[in-house]
Amino acid sequence: MEQLMEILHRINPDVDFENSRKLVTDKLLDSIDITSLLAELEETFEIEIDMEYVTPENLDSAEAMWNMIQELME
């Protein structure tokens, strides 16, 4: 989870990722942020994120992202 938080803060240091629960829904992350995020997650965690995973449910919070990463690493 620490690596994920580091990535998120690099992508957009102005967002409170620890407490935000609607990152995509409330447009705290824009399309460029999301594209950068997905690329970094794939590289860092050695996973492939198919488009079916690119949903607000999987990207609206750091916790949701971490759950998606864990699922994809299995």
Question: Which structural domain range is residue 51 located in?
Answer: 2-73
Q: pLDDT value at position 47?
A: 98
Tokens of 53: 């995973």
Q: What is the band of 74 on the pLDDT scale with cuts at 50, 70, 90?
A: very high
Nearest Cα to Cα of residue 21 among 61, 64, 72, 54: 61
Q: pLDDT value at position 48?
A: 98
Give the mean pLDDT of 24-51: 96
Q: Tell me how many domains the chain contains.
A: 1
Whole-angstrom CA distances from 64 to 36, 56, 57 are 17, 9, 7
Q: How far apart are CA 50 and CA 27, in angstroms?
A: 21
Q: pLDDT value at position 27?
A: 95
Q: How far apart are CA 29 and CA 35, in angstroms?
A: 10
51-68 pLDDT per residue, tens? 999 999 999 999 999 999
CATH number at residue 28: 1.10.1200.10
